[in-house]
Homo-oligomer: A and B are copies of this chain.
Amino acid sequence: MDVYEAIKKRRDVRSWFLKRHIESAVLGRILNAGNYAPSVGLSQPWNYIVVRDIETRKKVKENVEEKRMDFYRSLPDEKKTKFNNIKIEGILESDLNIAVTCDFSRKGPDILGRKTIPETSEYSVVLSVENMWLAAISEGIGIGWISFIDPESVKRILGIPEEIKLIAYLAVGYISENHDTPELEEKGWEKRDNLSNFVYMDKWGEKPDKNMMVSLYNSKF
């Protein structure tokens, strides 16, 4: 699949998972896409825990339900109904889950480029997640990043050591459909804004000139 097509098609999926098994070769390609990501000083600080076990996933799902209720209670009344229409996870419906972690000690202390910005280790892991997301959609596989979790609880469920940071918890599976519009936009929760809102020239706050603005609009793909 063309890289621009993958970027445009990629959705954060919760609702359309099929009961179809992901073969090891396909899973291997997706994980290898992750391992080809850039990482600060080539430190590759990631691990991928592939979770197929249903009992483990049920425990994670319980944790999500708690966090979902916390958020629900925190919302103003007019947002509560909207929120209830939104599916926030697909932990059991997906074929497998992947927990993606960050090991700050990987490859020793002198990581080139990290001293000034320690977060670059975590950022490397996130870059790896995007590679997997794009590889997956090119295989007909959807991914949902489930952030309604308490990371410390999920670490305990998966036996992740204290010094390792849980960065992402993903639901992964073949999908029956895929929409052009993000689900949060379909459900009226939030809408995606045009690029031209976000671009400055040379300095914060300096909008591009008219020609550049026209280019930003016309270069949508």
In the assembled complex, the CB of A62 is this many whole angstroms from the nearest CB of chain B, namely: 14
Partner of A158, one of B27, B70, B204: B204
Which residues of B lie under 8 Å from residue A160 when comparing CB positions? 204
Given contacts A75-B110, A119-B122, A138-B4, contact A41 B190 (CB under 8 A): yes
- A221→B58 CA distance, assembly (Å): 34
A196 → chain B closest CB, angstroms: 9
Min Cβ gap A97→B in Å is: 10
CB–CB B151/A67 < 8 A? no
Chain B residues, CB < 8 A from A4: 29, 33, 135, 138
Chain A facing B: main interface SS? mixed
| A116:B151 contact, CB within 8 angstroms | yes
Q: Which 10 A-B pairs have the closest CB atoms?
A: A28-B219, A24-B215, A130-B130, A113-B147, A126-B126, A42-B190, A35-B195, A3-B6, A159-B204, A42-B184
Q: How many residues of A contact B (CB 8 A)?
A: 111
Of residues 134 through 177 on chain A, the ones whose CB sits less than 8 Å from some CB of chain B are 134-135, 138, 145, 147-151, 158-161, 164, 167-168
Please, how many angstroms separate the alpha-carbon atoms of A204 and B162 in the complex?
12
Judge whether B107 and A88 touch: CB under 8 Å: no
Q: Does A81 sit at the interface, judged by CB under 8 A?
A: no
Query: Which chain B residue shows the least CB distance to A64?
Result: B116
Query: Does A46 sit at the interface, judged by CB under 8 A?
Result: yes
A203 touches B36 (CB 8 A): no
Please pick, from B26, B101, B190, the residue contacting A43 in the complex, using a CB distance under 8 A: B190
Q: Cα distance A48–B185 when bound, in Å?
A: 23
